[in-house]
Amino acid sequence: MNAADTPHPAELCLQRTLERTEDFVRREPTKAVGAALGAGLALTLLPTRSMVKPLAIVGAAMLPPILVGLGLIKAFELCFQNTPLKAVTTTDSP
């Protein structure tokens, strides 16, 4: 087994959560439907407009510094790559 075959810990956690959810739905279908309806109702009643606007403002304010930071990281990666230097050969022309 190589490193590419081993699942990431977050993936394992997600798989376990999905398995637990499936088991719960199979054991208690009525409670699962009730929970789904309750979650849907709660999401429907949330004041989305009053939540989206501040989040969009914060996201727009944070975007330029994040992009600058990512650009600097990429620049450092490119500057400090471990690539062998090519020997420069000169040809003497008469």
31-87 residue pLDDT tens: 999 999 999 888 888 887 788 888 899 999 999 999 999 999 988 888 887 766 566
Which residue has better confidence, 2 or 28? 28
Rounded Cα gap, residues 71 and 79, in angstroms: 12
- Mean pLDDT on 12-30: 91
Spatial contact of 32 and 24, defined as CB atoms under 8 Å apart: yes
pLDDT given at position 91? 67
Element (H, E) at 28: none
pLDDT given at position 2? 52
Output the six-digit token pair for 16.
């376990």
Nearest residue to 21 (alpha-carbon basis) of 36, 10, 8, 38: 36
At residue 46, what is the residue type? L
pLDDT given at position 1? 46
At residue 62, what is the residue type? M
pLDDT given at position 17? 92
- Cβ-Cβ contacts under 8 Å for 25 (sequence gap 6 or more): 32
